[in-house]
A and B are shown apart, each in its own frame.
Chain A
Amino acid sequence: MLLPSFYDFCCRVKTISGNKALEKIPALLAGMNAYRPLIITDKGVASAGLVDVVKKAMENKLKIGAVYDDVPMDSDYKIVNDAVRVYRQKGCDSIIAIGGGSVIDTAKGVNIVASLGGDNLLDYEGYGAVKRKLKPFVVVPTTAGTGSEMTLVAVITDPDRKIKMNFVSYFLLPDLAVLDPRMTRTLPAFLTASTAMDAMTHACEAYFCIEKNPISDSFAFRAITMISENLLNVVKNPGNLNGRLALANASTMAGAAFSNSMVGMVHNLGHTVGALCHVPHGVAMSIFLPYGLEYNLHRSADIIGEILFPLAGPEVYASTRKKHRAERVIELIRKLNQDLHDATGGKHPRFLKEIYDRNGSPVVPQSMLPVIAQAIMLDGARLTNPEELLPEDARMVLEHAWEGTPLDRKKIKKGGRKVKY
C-alpha cells in the first residue's frame, strides 16, 4: 500500500441507502430542527414523477414549503437568486435537492444565500467566502454518476460574464445524502451507462492520479467493484433495483474519493470538450477513460494494474502477471464500453465521431480538435495528472479518441522523474 508523504481527507456527509430510505428524511430533518423544506429540482425530474415519490414518502410527517422546479440544464446565479426569494417567501427552513449535478449545485448556491443573507449569490464567489454552517441540506440524487452529493464545490454560470463560477467551501457539503433505488429506476439505459462510467472515471482517476491517498483509495476500490459487477446487468435489466442501488452507492463513494484525490487528464479533456462542443459529461468520460489510462501507463503502470482487482475480480487479478495487469485494465474498460454500446443499441458512443446531436449532426467535428487541444490549458485537472499534458499531447490523444484507435505509444512523450505521491 502506497502511503503519500502528506494528504488530507474530509467527508462528513451522513449517507443513508436502501429501499424506503426516503421515508427517513422527515425524522432526520427534525433532528436538525428543520420542519419546512424547499424542494429544488428540474422539470425533467418533476415530470418523471420523482418529486411525487419523495412527497409521498414524506406525507403526513413533513410540511413541504414549496417545490422549485425551474432549474435549467446549466444553472445560473439568477436562478439561484430566484429560488432564494421563493425560500424566504414560503418561510422554509431547509433544502432538499432532487436531481443531478446542476440541481445539486443550484441548491448549494441557494443554501449559501438563504443562510448567509443578502440577495445575490455573486457576493459569495470564490474560495473561502462561506465561513459558517449553513441551513440543513438534503440531497437525493436521481443519476448514479456525478457524486455531487459528496463534493464541496458548486459550479454555477454567470451568463453576463460568460464564465462558470466556483464556490468552494466545506460548508457546502450536504448534511444528508439519500440513496433510494426508486429515484434512478426511470433513468434510460444509455444515461445509466454514461453516468455510471462517469462514476467509474471518478474512481479510477482518484486511484491513479497524484493526489491519491489510502482513504480515498478504499472508496475508489469498492466503487469500481460495484460498477463492474452491476452496470451491464442494470443496463440490460432496468428493473433491477438492487443493481441500481449498488450503482448509486458506487457513485457516492466515487464522489467521496475524487472530492479528496482530485481527477486528471480524463476530466481535463472531458471538461474542455463539454465546454466547447457540449458533449454530455458522462459520454466524454467513458470515451476518454481508456485513453487517460493508456497515456499515463509508463508513469503509473503498477498503480493502474491494481485496478484490475476490483474491475475483474480476484481470480483474474491473480492469474494475470503483474506486468500485464495495467494493459488488461485498459482492455477491460474498452470492452465495457463496447458491451454498453451493444446493450444500448448503439446509443452509448465509443469514440468522439460517434456522438451526434438530435438533428443527426456530429457534435465534435474533426476541425475542432486543435481548438479543444489548445483550451485544455485552462482546466485545473491537468495539474494532478501523473504525466504532463500539453496542447500537442492533447491533440494526439484527441485524434485517437475521435477515430477510436488505441494510442500510438511511441508518440507519448516521456521524461522526468518517477511520480512522487
Chain B
Amino acid sequence: MNINKYPEIQPGKKLIKRIYVAVFMWFFARAIQAAAKVDEEVKKEVETIPANFTLRLIVNPEKAFPLFFYAKMLPRFIVDKGILLYGLQMIMGKDKKGKFRYQGSDPRGKKINLSMAFTSLEAAMMVFTFRESLCTGYAHSRFVVEGDLPFAQSIMRIMDLTAVFLLPKIVAKLVVKRYPKWSEMSPLRKYLNRVLVYLRMFTV
C-alpha cells in the first residue's frame, strides 16, 4: 500500500478572515483595557476578578495563523513579542495592582484561569461580524468556556459594556442583549467614555 496516496489534510488558509479576526481581537482587547480605566461600571466588574487572573480568548485550532508558519524565519524579538504568532488568541490579565491589561497573544509561561475558545474560524466570524451576540454565540456553541466559570459572567459583562462604548448604537444593539437606555447610561457617560476609550486604545 502506498501510504503517500493518503496525504494529511491541512486546514484551509482563509487569509482575509484570519487577518480580520486578528485585528478585531487586538482592537477589542485594547478597548477592554481602556474601558477598565475610564468607566466606573467596568472598573467595578474588574474589581470582582481576583488578582493574577488571566483570560484567554482563542480561535481553535491553535497555531493556525499563517504567520506562525513563518515564525522561524522572523527575527527573535518579533517572535517574542508574540502578536499574531501564536495562533488567533488574545490574553488579558489582572495584575497585582488591579490593572486589567492586554498581554499580547503569547501564552507561554502564563497560567490561564479562564479560556473562551471559539470552535472554528467561522464560529469566531459569526460573533466578530456581529451576526450573533455573545450570548447567542454561547447558546449556539460557537465557543466553549473552560476554567473559573463564575468570573466568565463578569468578563461577558465587561465585553458587553466595551461594545456599547466602542460601537455605534445600530451595531451595538446586535451585540448586546439589551442596549442601555438613557436612564441606565447617560449620553454624557456614553459619548465621553467612547472618546476616552478610542483615545486610550491608540495612545496608551
CB contact under 8 A between A417 and B157, given known A262-B139, A380-B152: no
Contact B150 A378 (CB under 8 A): yes
Of B144, B154, B181, the contact of A377 (CB 8 Å cutoff): B154
Contact B138 A415 (CB under 8 A): no
Q: Which B149-170 residues have C-beta < 8 A from chain A? A: 149-150, 152-154, 156-157
Q: Which of B3-11, B16-24, B78-86, B172-180 contacts A (4 or more CB under 8 A)?
A: B172-180
* Number of inter-chain CB pairs below 8 Å: 66
Contact A388 B139 (CB under 8 A): no
Determine the residue in chain A with the shortest Cβ distance to B141: A8
User: Shortest Cβ distance from A123 into chain B, in angstroms?
Assistant: 16
Separation of A30 and B10 alpha carbons in the complex (Å): 45
Residues of B within 8 A of A4 (CB): 140
Of A126, A262, A383, A415, the contact of B147 (CB 8 Å cutoff): A126
Residues of B within 8 A of A416 (CB): 173, 176-179
Residues of B within 8 A of A319 (CB): none
Contact B153 A378 (CB under 8 A): yes
Contact B138 A383 (CB under 8 A): yes
Contact B138 A384 (CB under 8 A): yes
Contact B178 A413 (CB under 8 A): yes
Residues of B within 8 A of A413 (CB): 178, 181, 184
Residues of A within 8 A of B138 (CB): 383-384
User: Shortest Cβ distance from A147 into chain B, in angstroms?
Assistant: 20
The interface size of chain B toward A, counting residues with CB under 8 Å, comes to 29
Of A127, A380, A388, the contact of B178 (CB 8 Å cutoff): A388
Residues of B within 8 A of A128 (CB): 146
Separation of A416 and B177 alpha carbons in the complex (Å): 6
Contact B178 A387 (CB under 8 A): yes
CB contact under 8 A between A127 and B146, given known A377-B153, A382-B153: yes
Contact A388 B177 (CB under 8 A): yes
The yes or no answer to A236 lying at the interface (CB within 8 A) is no
The yes or no answer to B136 lying at the interface (CB within 8 A) is yes
Separation of A160 and B152 alpha carbons in the complex (Å): 23
User: Shortest Cβ distance from A378 into chain B, in angstroms?
Assistant: 4
Interface positions of B (Cβ within 8 A of A):
48, 132-133, 135-136, 138-142, 144, 146-147, 149-150, 152-154, 156-157, 173-174, 176-181, 184
A-B contact pairs, 27 of them (CB 8 A): A4-B140, A5-B140, A6-B141, A6-B142, A126-B146, A126-B147, A127-B144, A166-B149, A210-B135, A210-B136, A211-B140, A377-B48, A377-B153, A377-B154, A377-B157, A379-B150, A379-B153, A380-B153, A382-B153, A383-B139, A387-B177, A388-B176, A413-B178, A415-B178, A415-B180, A416-B176, A416-B179
Interface positions of A (Cβ within 8 A of B):
4-8, 126-128, 166, 210-211, 262, 377-380, 382-384, 387-388, 413-417, 420-421
